[in-house]
Structure 1
Amino acid sequence: MAISPEEKLLNALPLAQWWPSMFEAAGDCASVTWRFLSLSIPEWSVIWFVMLAAAGVYVGLAKS
């Protein structure tokens, strides 16, 4: 299997040797490993995205 240029670049960074777990990818994205107030990370992301988008629309309309 060929190594991509991006992989070569990441492997050349000093941070890749100091903190290798930061750059390791796990293929188990379907399992929920973390919850806060019974919501997972993607659910919190959607909530914050909607809130920030609504705030942006509000500020944009308030200035016009």
Structure 2
Amino acid sequence: MITAFIIIIAAVVADIFLFDQDRKRWGWMKGWSTFHKALFLSGFVVVTFVIYFLLSVSGA
């Protein structure tokens, strides 16, 4: 179960830092500092984990 969570997070991080070289998908973050990007990714991880946890507890 936690494997899916890790795969989702790894895919988003890889897309932001490796695959989106021309900034077509994540271009709106272009002017952001490294701190703000890390804060965004941390928030994304927390929200993803909460959703994943709630879905697993509810039995969906």
TM bin (shorter chain) = 0.3 to 0.5
Larger Rg: 1
Write 1 or 2 for the structure with the bigger share of strand: 1
Higher relative contact order (CA 8 A, sep 6+): 2
Write 1 or 2 for the structure with the bigger share of helix: 2
Q: TM-score, normalised by structure 2?
A: 0.46
